[in-house]
Structure 1
């Protein structure tokens, strides 16, 4: 089972980000001592750390970890994907994350405690382990916050974000992603969350639910969440989404039909919504956006974007900047 606290599990997402930046990820893997043909090296944490170091140097991107996190989905870490399905609240999600973290040399040290009216989730490198580059912990912080947003909506923000990393010269990428008070050079890597957000039942906080009085849509928001989580891995099939939700494909289609939805339409809507979100980020290249939306190449993304908006991505960005 892939675990959310294993350092080596980031290799695939890191390579996707490097490829999207037109950097030679295979060459960097070889320089780090990794086999570039293995998507997930299981026993090479030291080499994985060297790959991160080389990637930071080659990219010259201070916020590399934040960008890499966009290419990782909760379902990339199988245990994390399972907790999102099996848990009734985000408190249970994070309790299970800590409970499931593996006893392997590269496993993070995780803690989750209630402190007053908030929960504190801490994560750090194992003892007697080489200190990873700060960008790796940026990626961990980003994927955990994204896990919360997958269930509570994109507007969700933690109470505080503490990172041991040195303060970057330009903190704007961190501010834009976390939308919370930031503390760099902190004593530990820690995310603080409001108890009220974490104790509420996830079905009661389903993104897109119009009002408490309206008939709640149970399966549409769950399917949307699963689609968005799997898109960085490529276009998700109805079968893969059904499997993630512990359903048969037939049951998935029936549940959506009962709520007046169709899988292909939801997939298209998710891609269109995310395309408008990512294309408005001037730091994201078209290659990155295409990868994040599960397209095989930029041409396929550009054709879809023009179908959605009537404009090419370049024309749309020009209008935004104008």
Structure 2
């Protein structure tokens, strides 16, 4: 059993108990003693009652493996995914459901994935007619196990079906896991060609679906839950500085133009340290501020209940001309002429 005192990068990654809760439901449905498996994996089953609780990824991985062995079902993770809807993913789940488009939802998922787990890295992008979504190892070398990849990939596909169209399916799914004796459960779940023994875990989608307006879009609800997710992430020591900075800026913007010095002070850093750590993450203070302001501006405009002067105030600009100039730089049009894509 892993020691709780082991602080190596591969054992300090954590995940919401949501996955374990879904694993337990699936085990119980299969007639397996879930409590015994939790104990064998070194997990406190009582923590499932705490929505804020987290388990070590290494021990959750052990639970996955024990569950597959106990059920004798190589595709067990696909059943777990049906129990682990996105609304179990803290505030992030509600932000995803309220997103305006699938593209916005996927970008949100990338940004706040550490709410769910810091044991994997997500990547998303579009190239021509195709969008790709990858589940990869983290920078410190933690690679998600096949069961976790199966479950999360299927949750993502189910998210698309819930928000966009029930018959939506990827063009292709590539999984690094060894080919199973019977690939039917994966083919039935994803409803597309599934390639095993692949070089990476990647889902390919038709790009046309990613900018279609979604029925349950609610910019205000999405923004409010983004703020909750950002504050939640800010409590984690491993959190990227740019995400901690976003959480600080969300609070500071309505009080006027947030300076780098003031933001650094709120993060208990010197301005120079903040600048250096952002550079290590491939960004700058002004880039983070501009990105956040652009996202908030388009969110407020979608709501159509804020005046331009109110949005100017909420984003910390000194006057409407400064906001209008910045908005033109971001989008190519004035705020009064902008229309949701």
TM tier, smaller:
0.5 to 0.7
Question: What SS does the corresponding residue of 2:46 show, helix, strand or coil?
Answer: coil
* Aligned twin of 2:122: 110
Aligned to 1:52: 64
Q: Distance in 2 between matches of 1:70 and 1:43?
A: 20
Q: Does 1:143 align with 2:155?
A: yes
| Cα offsets for 1:251-297 (capped at 9, x unmatched) | xxxxxxxxxxxxxxxxxxxxxxxxxxxxxxxxxxxxxxxxxxxxxxx
Indicate whether 1:31 and 2:49 are aligned. no
**3-state DSSP of counterpart to 2:54:** coil
Superposition pairs of residues 95-244 of structure 1, within 5 angstroms: 95-102=107-114, 106-129=118-141, 131-203=143-215
C-alpha contact 1:29 1:35 (8 A) present in aligned 2? yes
The answer (yes or no) to whether the contact 1:8–1:45 under 8 Å persists in 2 is no
Runs of 4+ in 1 over 3 A off after TM superposition: 5-9, 103-107, 127-133
What is the total number of aligned residue pairs between the two structures? 202
The more displaced of 104-113 and 151-160 is 104-113
Tell me the CA shift for residue 129 of structure 1: 5.0
Q: Secondary structure at the match of 1:191?
A: strand
Is this contact kept in 1: 2:41–2:60, CA < 8 A? yes
- Please give the secondary structure, in 2, of the residue aligned with 1:87: coil
Please say which structure displays the higher CA radius of gyration: 2
Q: Which residue in the other structure is 2:321 paired with? A: none
**Residues 160-169 or 82-91, more deviating:** 82-91
Identify if the C-alpha distance between structure 1 residues 143 and 61 changes in structure 2 by more than 3 Å, giving closer, same or farther: same
Structure 1 position 190, deviation (Å): 1.0
Q: Residues 72 and 103 of structure 1: is their aligned pair in 2 closer, same or farther, counting only changes over 3 Å?
A: closer
Partner-residue secondary structure (3-state), 1:161: strand
Q: Secondary structure at the match of 2:135?
A: strand
Write the distance in 2 (CA, Å) between the matches of 1:200 and 1:193: 14
Quote the offset at 1:184 in angstroms: 0.9
Partner in structure 1 of residue 263 of structure 2 = none
Structure 1 residue 12 corresponds to structure 2 residue 21: yes
TM-score calculated relative to the size of structure 1: 0.58
Q: Distance in 1 between matches of 2:152 and 2:57?
A: 16
Whether the aligned pair in 2 keeps the contact of 1:123 and 1:190 (CA below 8 Å) is yes
Q: How far, CA to CA, are the matches of 1:104 and 1:30 in structure 2?
A: 22
TM-score, normalised relative to structure 2:
0.55
CA distance in 2, matches of 1:10, 1:103: 12
Aligned residue number for residue 223 of structure 1: none
Q: How does 1:85-100 map to 2 (within 5 A)?
A: 85-100=97-112
Q: CA deviation at 1:111?
A: 0.8
Q: 1:6 to 1:194 in 2, by over 3 A?
A: farther
Are residues 85 and 144 of structure 1, via their aligned partners in 2, closer, same or farther at CA, if it must alter by over 3 Å? closer
Question: Would you say the 8 A contact 2:16–2:55 is kept in 1?
Answer: no
Asked if the contact 1:160–1:181 (Cα under 8 Å) also holds between the matched residues in 2, the reply is: yes
Q: 1:7 and 1:117 mapped to 2: Cα distance? A: 34
Task: Report the equivalent of 2:77.
Answer: 65
Gaps of 5+ in 1: 207-217, 220-322
After TM superposition, give the deviation of residue 82 of structure 1 in Å. Answer: 2.2
Larger RCO (CA within 8 A; separation ≥ 6): 1
CA distance in 1 between counterparts of 2:201 and 2:76 reads 17
